[in-house]
Structure 1
Amino acid sequence: MPDYKLIALDMDGTLLNETLEVSEENREWIGKAMDAGITVCLSTGRGYSSALPYAEDLGLHTPMVLVNGSEIWEAPDKVLKREYMDLEAVRQLRTIAVERGVWYWAYAVTGVYNRENWPESEEGEEWLKFGYYEQNTPVLDDVKAQLDPFRHYEITNSSPDNIEINPPGVSKATGLEEVCKLLGIQMSQVVAMGDSLNDIAMIRAAGLGVAMGNAQNVVKEAADVVTLHHNEHGVAHAIKEFVLKV
């Protein structure tokens, strides 16, 4: 059996079911992995305030890769590293959203801002990620077409209806590389599970990349294996079948 030391879990569409809960089956097999000496960590597009309650609920006193890798926590109470968006880029990305009338949001160190609570001045914030949400596909495609000046940024999504932009070279994979340094392990000893474009980098970089049954097709193509749907306890199935093999 490969010597896996770390399981990195995306949250929405992966660890969490459609009601944003951790199933008892997922909880049980995460516990079994931890009992086997494997570190389990969250690797998510979410920020600290929305990821922490789940980490605490699962008893994970482990590193966290947050905001798609823009923020890395050594432990739930100790930040390790942050990567910031360029201020002018944030302004330009917001202008695109306003001109096309789409929902937008952005993560800053101080919290999450969106179309309804945008700060009067962007200068007072340390920006981590910018995002768009639009269910009208042609409109979202139009937004994508405006992002060519930002092609050197990390442009992904966490669902087919959104676009997420992180600083250049920042991804969940780069975040996990920092976690591996902390733990003294190699990326080949990592199991990474996810469902969306923001998971592809870590799925490709990990020793075992796992796509959920509900994952976008391009994610399944990038993965080594495909597990069950997130509503069918796909994390538990992957740990049982591909990691612990019991």
Structure 2
Amino acid sequence: MGNYKLVALDMDGTLLNEQSEISKENAEWIQRALDAGITVSFSTGRGFRGALPFAEQLKLETPMITVNGSEIWQKPHVLHKRTLLSPVYIKQLHELALRHEGTWFWAYSTNGIYNLEKWIDPSTTYEDHHWLKFGYYTEDDVVRGRILQEVTEWDALEITNSSPQNLELNAKGITKASAIRELCSMLGIEMSQVVAAGDSLNDIAAIREAGLGVAMGNAQQAVKDAADVVTLTNNENGVAEIIKQYVLKG
């Protein structure tokens, strides 16, 4: 067995297949890792509510990283740390979305998800909510590029994506990597003992900093370029392959 103590797994496009399911093979090898004393943690852009059913399916009682690192859970339902995104920026990001008609947008708060169809109640203010992340989705590359350029010029937010068609904004300095560093402190291990796997730009920081950074076969090219190794796709049980080949080898 290798010297890895923590496996941090992205969910969509990594652990989950295109039907948003955990394959039998992935579940089996995650259990084998757990049985061997390895900590297996979700490291996802999803909010807690979106990740929880899969943690329950795998019977995980391990830490979880949600909303790209804005929330770190000691175990399901036990919050360790939360980093909020200023309502000032949420207001600016919302106004920017409205200036680009046809762009889908969403925002995670601690009490739910708001989006183009269901935005905050007009009787409330941005300050009445505790914000975690904002996102844009558009298949128009030009529009996405304009939004990216403007937000980049603010130099105030962490900018990533979870698919080539979207942009995700977190508080500056908040990434899956920053959250994994916090997990390492909690667990008493080093980043060199971490395997981080993912497919999108919100995984790059973690992939670069981990002892072993793994890009899925279906990952964006920039993620593959940043990774130490590239494994099988999310539809080919890539997570099982990572654990088999690198974590429990020998």
What range describes the TM-score normalised by the shorter chain of this pair? over 0.9
Q: Where in structure 2 are the equivalents of 1:227-242 lying within 5 Å?
A: 227-242=231-246
2:33 corresponds to which residue?
33
**Distance in 2 between residues matched to 1:206 and 1:99, nearest whole Å:** 39
Identity of aligned residues (%): 57
| 2:2–2:249 Cα contact (<8 Å) kept | no
Q: Where in structure 2 are the equivalents of 1:97-246 lying within 5 Å?
A: 97-101=97-101, 102-119=103-120, 120=122, 121-246=125-250
Instruction: Give the deviation of 1:149 after TM superposition.
Output: 3.5
| 1:16 has 2:16 as partner | yes
Task: Give the aligned CA root-mean-square deviation in angstroms.
Answer: 1.0
**Distance in 1 between residues matched to 2:39 and 2:154, nearest whole Å:** 35
Instruction: Give the deviation of 1:148 after TM superposition.
Output: 2.9
| 2:177–2:209 Cα contact (<8 Å) kept | yes
**Distance in 1 between residues matched to 2:151 and 2:172, nearest whole Å:** 13
Per-residue CA distance 1:106-126 (angstroms, 9 max, x = gap)? 111111110111112212101
Instruction: Give the deviation of 1:54 after TM superposition.
Output: 0.3
**Distance in 1 between residues matched to 2:99 and 2:131, nearest whole Å:** 21
**Distance in 2 between residues matched to 1:89 and 1:149, nearest whole Å:** 13
TM-score (norm 2): 0.96
**Distance in 2 between residues matched to 1:124 and 1:217, nearest whole Å:** 40
Consecutive unaligned residues of structure 2, counting only runs of 5 or more, are none
3-state SS of paired residue (2:99): helix
Structure 1 runs of 4+ with >6 Å offset: none
Per-residue CA distance 1:176-212 (angstroms, 9 max, x = gap)? 1111111111111110000000000111111110000
Paired positions, count: 246
Consecutive unaligned residues of structure 1, counting only runs of 5 or more, are none
**Distance in 1 between residues matched to 2:193 and 2:69, nearest whole Å:** 19
2:72 corresponds to which residue?
72
Instruction: Give the deviation of 1:146 after TM superposition.
Output: 1.7
Instruction: Give the deviation of 1:152 after TM superposition.
Output: 3.5
TM-score (norm 1): 0.97
**Distance in 1 between residues matched to 2:164 and 2:53, nearest whole Å:** 26
Instruction: Give the deviation of 1:144 after TM superposition.
Output: 1.1
**Distance in 2 between residues matched to 1:177 and 1:152, nearest whole Å:** 21
**Distance in 1 between residues matched to 2:153 and 2:80, nearest whole Å:** 30
Instruction: Give the deviation of 1:237 after TM superposition.
Output: 0.8
